[in-house]
A = this chain, B = another copy of it.
Amino acid sequence: MTEPLPQDDFLAALRDVGARKYHDKHRFHVLMNEGHLTPAQLKVWALNRFYYQRSIPAKDCALMAKMPMPLDRRRWRQRLLDQDGTGPEDEGGIEKWLRLVEACGGTRDEAWRAEGLLPGVRFAVDAYVHFVRDEPWVIGVASSLTELFSPALMSLRIAAFEQHYPWVAAEGLTYFRGRPTRANKDSDHAIELVLAHCTTRALQRQAIGALDFKCDLLWAQLDAIYAHCVGT
């Protein structure tokens, strides 16, 4: 009864969380992907999601602060390089998201000043950083596994923007174009770590719970954005 799940069952349980709860199915994303959002609504979304983007390095640094082994950190820190960039050739995910904000009619300054940041978005994002800071590091790793489900959403989003929102400059979509490759690499590493370190049933349960929690906090951001943009 307290035996750990076989690896395949554990992986299936993780994938099942995404199948049930990943925010690709949120009604705000449905509106977005069907082309029903106004420029003002897309701007609210881009500006609010910037708070998530800018907080990702805080989450990854908090996680690395607890990872005991240099070789694990060495590999995980690629996420920090991806998000913060390495130089003029590779300016990083945060900068790319700022381009999206601009393409949606916002300014970099509004983004950094968190103007119009909705409380529900702030709470959800901060909850993520705090979770990773406070939980065992491998549970923080498990919470990153939404990247298993993001590539499909990114592809759908690029197609939807090209079709329905041609006024958003192609430049603004750079962030999404690079994500699937990175997300696959990142989730491969995360799966490796979770399988290697969640070796008890209790840890497996915690890992599944962490992914559930992560889906909740992604969903809650869209709830807040939907309520503000569309109504409740």
CB of A30, distance to nearest CB on chain B (Å): 32
Interface 9-mer from A39-47, A70-78, A208-216: A70-78
Pairwise interchain contact B73-A80, C-beta atoms closer than 8 A: yes
The secondary structure that dominates the A interface is: helix
Q: How far is the CB of A198 from chain B (nearest CB, A)?
A: 21
Cα–Cα distance between A64 and B94 once the two chains are bound (Å): 15
Cα distance, A81 to B64, chains bound together (Å): 13
A65 touches B70 (CB 8 A): no
Q: How many residues of A contact B (CB 8 A)?
A: 26
A92 at interface by CB-CB < 8 Å: yes
Instruction: Mark interface residues in A78-92 (1 if CB within 8 Å of B CB, else 0).
Output: 001101111000001
Does A95 sit at the interface, judged by CB under 8 A?
yes
Which of B59, B62, B80, B86 touches A62 (beta carbons < 8 Å)? B62
A residues with a Cβ closer than 8 A to B are: 54, 57-59, 61-62, 64-66, 68, 70-71, 73-74, 77, 80-81, 83-86, 92, 94-95, 129, 133
Please list the 7 inter-chain residue pairs (A to B) with the smallest Cβ-Cβ separation, ordered nearest first: A61-B65, A70-B84, A61-B64, A62-B65, A61-B61, A58-B65, A74-B84
